[in-house]
Amino acid sequence: MFAALSVEFRKLNRSLALLLAVVAPALIAIFTFFNMLRGSAPQPYDIWIMSGSAIWAFFMLPMSVTALTALVAHMEHGPKSWHHLRALPLPRWRIYAAKTVCVIAVVALMSALTLLMTWAAVEIAAAVKPAITPSGAPDMATHVWTLVKMLAASLLLIAVQLWMALRFQSFVPGLALGIGGTFFAVVATSARAGVFMPWQMPVNMLTDEAWRAETALAIGGAGGFIALVLMVTHLSWREVR
């Protein structure tokens, strides 16, 4: 398993995945920076950090997962290397499991960068315009825990998008699903049924309604793990055309 993971991480290192991992959190930080400069009075520090996490969960996380899974799948679909990979002397499930671990690891990295870059943006904005220096100190432990729950709640989203991306040679079905899912998640944010949408589960970690957060975390986390196991099993048995 270690060898399969090592190969997959090397592939990611030679792809645009790491660029995506930096650009998406950077966009959130840039938005936070200029949004702060528009203000004229200090706001609590935690508001700015939570705002960055909300943008990440609400829009950037679903779209990043869509792009990342399409990229990971295209690394094999593009050069048509599946037959070579499945002929290697190792269990087929390890190939798909390694790709899954890599995708989750990159999403975790992006979550961490979102927090760090948002914090840096707040500090730089405060240095540029001292009048808006945030009040209080951020509760970083709480923000880290919130991002961890968002990552757990996004497992079902990752499973759905990665399954679609690996199943079809064309990247269009996966992109269409991700764009459509994100669109409906955005326009149906307040809908009660929205808590059951994989693309909306991460943002429910910010709700004040305990049932929504608990439901999204349970379905997104536990359901996502089950879906990932089913995905690896299905793709391992399926013959690639």
Q: What is the CA radius of gyration of the chain?
A: 19
The tens digit of pLDDT for each residue in 46-95 reads 999 999 999 999 999 999 999 999 988 877 666 566 656 666 667 777 88
Token couple for 94 = 């390890």
Q: Tell me the pTM.
A: 0.90
> Residue 71 and residue 78: Cα distance in Å, rounded?
10
What is the pLDDT, as a whole number, of residue 45? 95
Q: Tokens 């707040």 label which residue? A: 122
What is the pLDDT, as a whole number, of residue 241? 45
Of 75-79, 167-171, 189-193, the range with the highest mean pLDDT is 167-171
pLDDT above 90: residue 29:
yes
Tell me the CA distances in angstroms from 35 to 42, 60, 112, 136, one per residue in order.
12, 17, 21, 19
pLDDT above 70: residue 1:
no
> Residue 49 and residue 72: Cα distance in Å, rounded?
30
Give the CB-side neighbour count of residue 227, counting CA atoms within 13 A: 20
Token couple for 62 = 């679903």
Q: How many CB atoms lie within 10 A of CB 42?
A: 15
The tens digit of pLDDT for each residue in 194-240 reads 788 999 999 999 988 899 999 999 999 999 999 999 999 988 886 54
Alpha-helical (H) ranges within 168-217 are: 172-187, 210-217
The tens digit of pLDDT for each residue in 127-154 reads 999 999 999 889 999 999 999 999 999 9
What is the pLDDT, as a whole number, of residue 87? 63
The tens digit of pLDDT for each residue in 105-126 reads 999 999 999 999 999 999 999 9
Residue type, 63: M
> Residue 124 and residue 142: Cα distance in Å, rounded?
22
Domain boundaries of the chain, sorted by first residue: 2-237
> Residue 228 and residue 69: Cα distance in Å, rounded?
13
Least confident window among 119-123, 141-145, 172-176, 185-189: 185-189
The tens digit of pLDDT for each residue in 226-238 reads 999 999 998 888 6
